[in-house]
Amino acid sequence: MIRVAIVTVSDSTFSGTREDVSGLALQERVRQRGWEVQATRTLPDEAEDITRCLKELADAGSASVILTTGGTGIAARDVTPEATRAAIEREVPGIAEHMRTEGAKRTKRAVLSRGIAGTRGRTLIVNVPGSPLGAVESFEAVADLIPHIIDLLEGRTEHRGH
C-alpha cells in the first residue's frame, strides 16, 4: 500500500479565506489509485514552516510519498521549491522535468512551475502546482513511476520487466 501525505501551501487557504480545492483534488486522485491518504496539512507560504513540516512527515516514516501543492510559481511568496530543497537529501530532477514537459502539452504556463522532487530517507517528496487541474495533471504525469520509486527507496532493487 502506498501511503501519501498531502501538504497544501497557501496563505489564503491557511487563513481560511479560500477552500483547499487542490489538496482535495489530489486526495481524490490518490484514493482512486487505491493508495492511502495518511495525512494532510495546510501551511502558509513560509519556507521554514514548509521545510519543518516536510522533514517531520518524512522522518516519521508514515508516508512513502509527500505531495505538496502550491507555492511553485514565480510570485514573491512562492517558496515551496526552496523549502523542499532544504528538506530533501537527494534531488530527482527528472520527475519535475517530466511533469513540466507533460504539462506544456496542454498549456505553455506549465513551464513556469519551479517545483522540484527528491527524497528524504525512504520518502519521495514531489511539488505540484497549486491549481487543481495543474496539481492533478502533474501528479498523473508521474504517478505510474511512484510504485517503482518506492520499491527502490525501500531497498527492493531487483530488476524486473517494465
Class in CATH terms, 3-153: alpha beta
pLDDT over 80 at 162, yes or no: no
Q: Is the pLDDT of residue 160 over 70?
A: no
Taking the whole predicted model, whether its pTM rises above 0.85 is answered as yes
Which amino acid type is present at position 7? V
Calpha distance 51→49 (Å, rounded): 6
Domain ranges of the chain: 3-153
Kind of pairing between the strands at 3-9 and 65-69: parallel
Contact yes or no for 125/119 (Cβ under 8 A): yes
pLDDT band at 158, cuts 50/70/90?
Answer: confident
Average pLDDT in the 137-162 region? 92
pLDDT digits (tens, 9 = 90+) for 50-107: 999 999 999 999 999 999 999 999 999 999 999 999 999 999 999 999 999 999 999 9
For residue 50, count other CB atoms closer than 10 A to its CB: 27
